[in-house]
Structure 1
């Protein structure tokens, strides 16, 4: 259904005169007449009666004009909403983040988002990458940001890797291992190890680092995808936290937590990536948010 033809019908119903209606819509009388005739043919119904004295509207025409006015209002509202969305002044963002980005670069970016565009409705789901991937497939999320170590790219998704967070072993300042000269790196196993859910590739690296036997597993005493909870446990027990530096930076700066000096440094890291459905355009607000995250990370890199 052509909205222009509907508008022509509405104007003609108001003027009941082809000359005045044509002038109002910037058409010739013959062009307006062809537009009305085309609409009547499309609807298979006569909308107007033409007489020597002017134009009168038929019962079908009254019904069509009434609905046409509603459709034109809806179309104008839709255009306005799209403009607002492009300017980030309205709309919805539903996205997910893993526990590590959720504890590091996301909070300041979200604060800026709400300050700059308070009318946006934002919903964030913090979970592990596997749960977020299933929600993305179900189109419950527009995108998610997480450690994509274990994520195998397929035709359904696009993965953009953009940052690495390197990690180590951390504990409270008063921990028995602080300042200790290790004779064997497996001495750390005398204390509970805690961390977020680790990708299989990181588990394999840790298995090699600790020189475990083939039939031995690298195991955590506590696995939790909530960094805040892990920090509390670490600060109030003799547990050792396996985490990335950005996640514990505040505690390190406060002096409440420190990194263990292990016999051999291990290079473990979280591979941060943005995951979207392949071939799917992001909303303007989502694109803005992703760009701000990239900018924030670049600034942090330059500061360090």
Structure 2
């Protein structure tokens, strides 16, 4: 038995067709059939029932398939580990993050890595946490930065919680509601509402419960965009209002263009961002440098938001942004 035979077996299992599998593994159908027969001889069990020119997996095959996947995975990881040792700072790094943090993190991270590892090939995916998690499981990413809840009960994932998000309602500094206390949903609904970024079902339910909104809450929003530059421009140039993480509007907050509103009840959501990668996955050497930069970037963002909140409190304009405790699991 060899890894090549296991790959042939998995191709037939996954594609359900000898012809399709033969094309993927670049063998003729007779050659692929011989490879399967050889594996059956080694294992001394039938892996496929051959009826009507079709291969149907036997109970033995279904019991064996996950072990076969693990052996192929371990073989690939062994070869990858040696390649990474040879490459040093060369190689590739694929990572992902949500749109709410890509605005302040993605370009600086890539510039940092280009400066410190100029031979590195990088690719980045900006998507919702569930899409990033799916891409990680498919080995399309080395790691991603997202909502740590998606992997907190998965023993095959490693989590490093970094940043407990603060939330609020935001509008331009000269907005009619900017100086008002105890703003309610009735007040907010008099202005265009912007839905920015990606929100999962639990977040939507929580917002609906807090403000008495019907589901889906998208029906209450005039505009929806996952592009933060567009959202920032709309906030700065109109009377639109948005519920958001504070980090997603960090730049316009720092510039004084956007301010948090004093909304009652406050936007009380639970979201901790962190680095997530697969247990047992050999990361590129450049990953450790990327992780250092990501940790420092979140620490700087937290310090900046704390400074801004302190400045606003000193001026007597004080909607507070609630901060959750970090829960870390490695």
Which residue in 2 is equivalent to 1:276? 277
Alpha-carbon contact 1:100-1:146 (below 8 Å) kept: no
Which residue in 1 is equivalent to 2:64? none
Q: Distance in 2 between matches of 1:125 and 1:169?
A: 27
Pairwise mapping of residues 24-63 of structure 1 onto structure 2 (< 5 A)? none
Structure 1 or 2, whichever has the larger Rg, is: 1
Which residue in 2 is equivalent to 1:98? 98
Q: Distance in 1 between matches of 2:128 and 2:173?
A: 29
Which residue in 2 is equivalent to 1:237? 238
Q: What's the offset of the Cα at 1:166?
A: 0.7
Alpha-carbon contact 2:84-2:285 (below 8 Å) kept: no
Alpha-carbon contact 2:183-2:262 (below 8 Å) kept: no
Asked if residue 126 in structure 1 is aligned to residue 126 in structure 2, the reply is yes
Which residue in 1 is equivalent to 2:268? 267
Pairwise mapping of residues 106-117 of structure 1 onto structure 2 (< 5 A)? 106-117=106-117
- Where 1:123 maps in the other structure, the secondary structure is strand
Q: What's the offset of the Cα at 1:237?
A: 2.7
Distance 1:293 1:135, change over 3 A: same
Q: What are the ranges of 5 or more consecutive residues in structure 1 without an aligned counterpart?
A: 1-77
Q: What's the offset of the Cα at 1:179?
A: 1.9
Q: What's the offset of the Cα at 1:302?
A: 5.3
Q: Distance in 1 between matches of 2:223 and 2:151?
A: 23
Pairwise mapping of residues 61-210 of structure 1 onto structure 2 (< 5 A)? 82=84, 85-86=87-88, 88=89, 90-150=90-150, 153-182=153-182, 184-194=184-194, 195-210=196-211
Q: Distance in 2 between matches of 1:225 and 1:132?
A: 15
Q: What's the offset of the Cα at 1:97?
A: 1.0
- Where 1:295 maps in the other structure, the secondary structure is helix
Distance 1:188 1:83, change over 3 A: same
Q: What are the ranges of 5 or more consecutive residues in structure 2 without an aligned counterpart?
A: 1-79, 307-330
Moved more, 248-257 or 173-182: 173-182
- Where 2:146 maps in the other structure, the secondary structure is strand
Aligned residues: 223
Alpha-carbon contact 1:157-1:277 (below 8 Å) kept: yes
- Where 1:297 maps in the other structure, the secondary structure is helix
Alpha-carbon contact 2:96-2:144 (below 8 Å) kept: yes
TM-score, scaled relative to structure 2? 0.59
Q: Distance in 2 between matches of 1:179 and 1:130?
A: 38
- Where 1:247 maps in the other structure, the secondary structure is helix
Which residue in 2 is equivalent to 1:258? 259
Q: What's the offset of the Cα at 1:294?
A: 1.5
Q: What's the offset of the Cα at 1:99?
A: 0.9
Q: Deviation digits for residues 157-202 of structure 1, max 9, x if unmatched? A: 3333221121211112233322234563332122232221212232
Distance 1:149 1:169, change over 3 A: farther
TM-score, scaled relative to structure 1? 0.64
- Where 2:283 maps in the other structure, the secondary structure is coil
Q: Distance in 2 between matches of 1:103 and 1:183?
A: 28
- Where 1:104 maps in the other structure, the secondary structure is helix
Distance 1:302 1:257, change over 3 A: closer
RMSD: 2.9
Q: Distance in 2 between matches of 1:168 and 1:184?
A: 13
Q: Deviation digits for residues 75-106 of structure 1, max 9, x if unmatched? A: xxx999745643x2x11111111112212334
Q: Distance in 2 between matches of 1:223 and 1:160?
A: 31
- Where 1:265 maps in the other structure, the secondary structure is coil
Distance 1:260 1:299, change over 3 A: closer
